Protein backbone atom coordinates (compact mmCIF):
# COMPACT_ATOMS: atom_id res chain seq x y z
CA UNK A 1 0.00 0.00 0.00
CA UNK A 2 1.50 3.38 -0.97
CA UNK A 3 2.35 5.94 1.70
CA UNK A 4 0.91 9.45 1.23
CA UNK A 5 3.44 12.00 2.49
CA UNK A 6 1.85 15.15 1.08
CA UNK A 7 -0.75 15.87 -1.61
CA UNK A 8 2.02 15.87 -4.23
CA UNK A 9 4.29 13.14 -2.86
CA UNK A 10 3.30 9.48 -2.58
CA UNK A 11 5.78 6.68 -1.93
CA UNK A 12 5.06 3.73 -4.22
CA UNK A 13 5.19 0.07 -3.21
CA UNK A 14 8.26 -0.68 -5.33
CA UNK A 15 10.27 1.91 -3.35
CA UNK A 16 9.60 0.10 -0.05
CA UNK A 17 10.84 -3.23 1.26
CA UNK A 18 9.55 -4.66 4.52
CA UNK A 19 11.11 -7.48 6.45
CA UNK A 20 9.97 -8.86 9.77
CA UNK A 21 12.36 -10.15 12.41
CA UNK A 22 12.10 -11.32 15.97
CA UNK A 23 11.94 -8.49 18.43
CA UNK A 24 13.88 -8.14 21.66
CA UNK A 25 12.50 -6.89 24.94
CA UNK A 26 9.32 -7.73 26.86
CA UNK A 27 6.81 -10.23 25.55
CA UNK A 28 7.71 -13.52 27.20
CA UNK A 29 7.49 -16.59 25.01
CA UNK A 30 5.74 -14.51 22.35
CA UNK A 31 9.09 -12.85 21.54
CA UNK A 32 10.66 -16.22 20.72
CA UNK A 33 7.83 -17.30 18.42
CA UNK A 34 6.62 -14.24 16.52
CA UNK A 35 8.52 -11.92 14.17
CA UNK A 36 6.95 -8.67 15.29
CA UNK A 37 9.78 -6.18 14.66
CA UNK A 38 9.65 -4.35 11.32
CA UNK A 39 12.57 -3.25 9.17
CA UNK A 40 11.30 -0.77 6.57
CA UNK A 41 13.71 0.02 3.75
CA UNK A 42 12.99 3.03 1.52
CA UNK A 43 15.04 3.32 -1.70
CA UNK A 44 15.32 7.10 -1.40
CA UNK A 45 18.13 7.58 -3.92
CA UNK A 46 16.07 5.95 -6.70
CA UNK A 47 12.82 7.68 -5.78
CA UNK A 48 11.45 9.83 -8.63
CA UNK A 49 9.18 11.74 -6.22
CA UNK A 50 11.98 13.47 -4.31
CA UNK A 51 14.18 16.25 -5.67
CA UNK A 52 17.97 16.04 -5.22
CA UNK A 53 17.85 18.81 -2.58
CA UNK A 54 15.22 16.90 -0.58
CA UNK A 55 17.29 13.71 -0.88
CA UNK A 56 20.36 15.54 0.52
CA UNK A 57 18.38 16.91 3.46
CA UNK A 58 16.81 13.48 4.06
CA UNK A 59 20.27 11.89 4.09
CA UNK A 60 21.44 14.43 6.69
CA UNK A 61 18.33 13.88 8.84
CA UNK A 62 18.59 10.08 8.59
CA UNK A 63 22.17 9.91 9.86
CA UNK A 64 23.19 6.29 10.56
CA UNK A 65 19.92 5.01 9.10
CA UNK A 66 21.12 5.97 5.58
CA UNK A 67 22.97 3.17 3.75
CA UNK A 68 25.80 3.41 1.21
CA UNK A 69 23.34 2.27 -1.48
CA UNK A 70 21.17 5.34 -0.83
CA UNK A 71 18.40 3.63 1.12
CA UNK A 72 16.79 4.73 4.37
CA UNK A 73 16.32 1.89 6.87
CA UNK A 74 13.88 2.24 9.78
CA UNK A 75 13.76 -0.45 12.46
CA UNK A 76 10.72 -0.50 14.77
CA UNK A 77 10.15 -2.93 17.64
CA UNK A 78 8.15 -0.73 20.00
CA UNK A 79 5.05 -2.88 20.37
CA UNK A 80 4.29 -6.59 20.43
CA UNK A 81 2.03 -6.18 17.40
CA UNK A 82 3.56 -6.54 13.95
CA UNK A 83 0.79 -4.45 12.36
CA UNK A 84 1.27 -1.61 14.87
CA UNK A 85 5.06 -1.63 14.37
CA UNK A 86 4.43 -1.45 10.63
CA UNK A 87 2.19 1.61 11.06
CA UNK A 88 4.78 3.30 13.30
CA UNK A 89 7.54 2.71 10.71
CA UNK A 90 5.42 4.15 7.89
CA UNK A 91 4.49 7.18 10.01
CA UNK A 92 8.13 7.83 10.91
CA UNK A 93 9.15 7.60 7.26
CA UNK A 94 6.47 10.11 6.24
CA UNK A 95 7.52 12.48 9.06
CA UNK A 96 11.19 12.28 8.05
CA UNK A 97 10.33 13.07 4.42
CA UNK A 98 8.09 15.97 5.50
CA UNK A 99 10.94 17.35 7.61
CA UNK A 100 13.31 17.06 4.62
CA UNK A 101 10.85 18.95 2.41
CA UNK A 102 11.27 22.11 4.50
CA UNK A 103 14.21 24.08 3.14
CA UNK A 104 16.32 25.64 5.91
CA UNK A 105 16.10 29.40 6.20
CA UNK A 106 19.14 31.14 4.74
CA UNK A 107 21.02 32.98 7.46
CA UNK A 108 22.28 36.40 6.49
CA UNK A 109 25.03 37.84 8.65
CA UNK A 110 24.04 41.10 10.34
CA UNK A 111 25.98 43.62 12.38
CA UNK A 112 25.01 44.47 15.94
CA UNK A 113 23.41 47.89 16.41
CA UNK A 114 25.45 50.72 17.88
CA UNK A 115 23.21 50.78 20.95
CA UNK A 116 23.63 47.06 21.62
CA UNK A 117 27.44 47.35 21.35
CA UNK A 118 27.44 50.28 23.80
CA UNK A 119 25.17 48.41 26.26
CA UNK A 120 27.45 45.36 26.11
CA UNK A 121 30.59 47.40 26.78
CA UNK A 122 28.89 49.31 29.61
CA UNK A 123 27.80 46.00 31.22
CA UNK A 124 31.36 44.63 30.86
CA UNK A 125 32.74 47.68 32.66
CA UNK A 126 30.19 47.31 35.48
CA UNK A 127 31.10 43.61 35.88
CA UNK A 128 34.80 44.53 35.88
CA UNK A 129 34.25 47.07 38.66
CA UNK A 130 32.31 44.50 40.71
CA UNK A 131 35.11 41.99 40.35
CA UNK A 132 37.81 44.57 41.07
CA UNK A 133 36.02 45.36 44.33
CA UNK A 134 36.45 41.75 45.44
CA UNK A 135 40.20 42.11 45.94
CA UNK A 136 42.00 42.15 49.29
CA UNK A 137 41.06 45.00 51.58
CA UNK A 138 43.99 47.24 52.48
CA UNK A 139 43.97 48.74 55.98
CATH number of 3-101: 3.30.160.20
Beta carbons of 71 and 40 less than 8 angstroms apart: no
What are 72's strand-pairing partners? 42, 66
Task: Please count the helices (runs of H) and the strands (runs of E) in the chain.
Answer: 4, 5
pLDDT band at 133 (very low <50, low <70, confident <90, very high): confident
pLDDT band at 126 (very low <50, low <70, confident <90, very high): very high
Chain centre distance of CA 36: 24
pTM equals: 0.69
Give the residue-averaged pLDDT of 34-45. Answer: 86
In the chain, where the domains are located: 3-101
Which stretch of 7-11, 28-32, 58-62 has the lowest confidence by average pLDDT?
A: 28-32
Task: Please name the residue ranges forming H helices in 6-81.
Answer: 29-33, 52-62
* Interval 12-36: pLDDT, tens: 778 888 888 887 766 667 667 778 8
Which stretch of 29-33, 44-48, 77-81 has the lowest confidence by average pLDDT?
A: 29-33
Whole-angstrom distance, CA of residue 66 vs CA of residue 64 = 5
Whether 86 shows a pLDDT value over 80: the answer reads: yes
pLDDT band at 113 (very low <50, low <70, confident <90, very high): very high
Q: Compute φ and ψ for 121, nearest 5 degrees.
A: -65, -40
Amino acid sequence: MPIHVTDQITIADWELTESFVRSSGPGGQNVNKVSSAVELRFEADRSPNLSPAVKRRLMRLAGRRWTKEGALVLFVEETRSQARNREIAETRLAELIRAALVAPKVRRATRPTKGSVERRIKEKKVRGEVKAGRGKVEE
